[in-house]
Amino acid sequence: MLERVLQHLEALVAFDTRNPPRAIGTGGIFDYVREHLPGFRIEVTDFGAGAVSLLAVRGSPSRLFNVHLDTVPSSPGWSADPHRLRVEGDRAIGLGACDIKGAAAGLLAAAAETRGDAAFLFSSDEEANDARCIAGFLASDHGFREAIVSEPTGCEAVLAHRGISAVRMAFRGRAGHASSADALDASALHQAMRWGVKALDHVQGCSHLRFGGLTGLRFNIGKVEGGIKANVIAPAAEVRFGFRPLPSQDMDALHATFRSLADPAALAEYEETFRGPPLPAGDVAAAEARRLQARDLADELGLPVGNAVDFWTEASLFSRAGLTAIVYGPGHIAQAHSADEWVALDQLEAYAQSVKRILT
């Protein structure tokens, strides 16, 4: 079965589905997927801006497999063409091989060796803060009760992970000569830095919080820009930051806290640009109930249960919509988004064999 998986993976890696720029249409990689799912009812939906989904259904399934086909941009550190699959030793190397075209190849291989009910949802917009495919699918009358979302989990079923929020903050200042006595307070960049110190201190104070093996609040200031030059007081500054709360943390309360750490006179805008709920979704009681349902599903399917993870996945969107959702796929997150990204061959084969068994 591994040979068939690698044939599909070689073809899938060859398609340029980097996101950004997310220049992805309804043909290309989706034509390939359609061609290799004979006997499936196919529905392709274009949500605009390169967000395309393909739903393939055979029979009358209640369980859905989901996998995204877009990848992150390739970094300058690649030692060879990132869109040409290389098999070296026990590894398959290529952009998206680990995250997560390897799972897509496994689904195609498993579909060809089974005849039972099956449903696959392929999407192209997971790797950007403008996800439309899953939201659009969940708004339809889909009828599914369970979702297995493919991400690199080492072929273990993950039942819980953090939520995610991305924010843009704009600070205002008063332009002037840097020799002025009020430069410390008038600079928008100084205000942004003061906010950053307070935010980091607050996050440090959350280190004692726990949920399902996860601890603390994950936080990152990803970008700060503004100002004109060293001898001019910065009239404006912008900060981009993100945080990843535990399933038990109130995301709106966290936003209120981060906003309150800024000087109101200096804060021009506070905008959440993306939000993803934790897995399981809901308050503490609902999240625990859904986690137990997900564990029952993993046990029913014979999948080993792994630890909760710090990274975010679209499984939480399925959970919020009321489906029992788990994250399950080949490879490890440490190899994702890296130069010379790779996935172990035994992981590819184990995943494809498990999907074949589930479909059978």
Q: What does pTM read for this prediction? A: 0.89
- Number of H helices and E strands in the chain, helices first, is 10, 15
User: Would residue 126 show up in a list of annotated catalytic residues for this protein?
Assistant: yes
CB 164 within 8 A of CB 312: yes
Pairing verdict, β 86-88 and 91-93: antiparallel
Active-site choice (126, 127, 341, 349): 126
Report the alpha-carbon distance of residue 274 to residue 22 in Å, rounded.
Answer: 17
Phi-psi region of 216 (alpha: psi -120 to 50; beta: other; left: phi over 0): left
Other Cβ atoms closer than 10 A to 201 = 10
Q: What is the pLDDT of residues 218-259, one digit of tens each?
A: 999 999 999 999 999 999 999 999 999 998 789 999 999 999
Which pLDDT does position 15 carry in this prediction?
Answer: 98
How confident is the model over 167-212, as pLDDT tens digits?
Answer: 999 999 999 999 999 999 999 999 999 999 999 999 999 999 988 7
What three-state secondary structure class fits 32?
A: helix
User: Percent of the chain scored above 70 by pLDDT?
Assistant: 100
Which of 242, 254, 241, 277 minimizes the C-alpha distance to 163? 277
The residue-averaged pLDDT of 97-121 equals 98
Question: DSSP states of 152-201 as a string?
Answer: -BSS-BB--B--EEEEEEEEE----BTTSTTHHHH-HHHHHHHHHHHHHH
| Cα–Cα dist 259/292, whole Å | 35
CB atoms within 10 A of CB 73: 12
The pair of three-digit structure tokens given for residue 15, joined into one six-digit string: 């398609």
Distance in angstroms (rounded) separating the CA atoms of residues 36 and 113: 12
Question: Which residue type does 285 have?
Answer: A
pLDDT tens for 124-153 read 999 987 889 999 999 999 999 999 999 999
